[in-house]
Homo-oligomer: A and B are copies of this chain.
Amino acid sequence: MADKNIPTKIYLGENEIPKAWYNVRADMKNKPAPLLNPGTGQPMKPEELEPVFCRELIAQEMDNDTAYFDIPGEVREFYKMFRPSPLIRAYQLEKALGTPAKIYYKFEGNNTSGSHKLNSAIAQAYYAKQQGLKGVTTETGAGQWGTALSMACAFFGLDCKVFMVKVSYEQKPFRREVMRTYGASVTPSPSMETQIGRKILADHPGTTGSLGCAISEAVEVAVGSEGYRYVLGSVLNQVLLHQSVIGLETKAALDKYGIKADIIIGCAGGGSNLGGLIAPFMGEKLRGEADYRIIAVEPSSCPSFTRGRFAYDFADTGMVCPLAKMYTLGSDFIPAPNHAGGLRYHGMSTILSQLYHDGYMEAVSVPQSEVFEAAEQFARTEGILPAPESSHAILGAVNEALKCKESGEEKTIVFGLTGTGYFDMVAYEKFHDGKMDDYIPTDEELARYAAKLPNIK
A contact residues vs B (CB 8 Å cutoff) = 7-9, 11, 13-14, 78, 80-82, 92, 110-112, 114, 151, 154-155, 173-174, 177-178, 180-183, 376, 379-380, 382-385, 420, 422-423, 425-426, 428-429, 432
Contact = CB atoms under 8 A, between A and B. Distances in A.
Contact of A174 (B82, B151, B425): B425
A78 B82 CA distance: 22
Number of copies: 2
The 3 closest A-B pairs by CB, nearest first: A174-B425, A422-B422, A177-B425
Nearest to A175: B425
Nearest to A379: B181
> Which residue, A8, A114, A380, has most C-beta atoms of chain B within 10 A?
A380
Nearest to A423: B422
6 contacts: A81-B383, A174-B425, A178-B385, A180-B429, A181-B385, A422-B422
A428 B181 contact: yes
Contact of A382 (B13, B81, B422): B81
A112 B80 contact: no
A112 B428 contact: no
B428 A177 contact: yes
Contacts of A181: 376, 379-380, 385, 428, 432
Contacts of A384: 81, 111-112
Contacts of A155: 92, 380, 383
Contacts of A110: 110
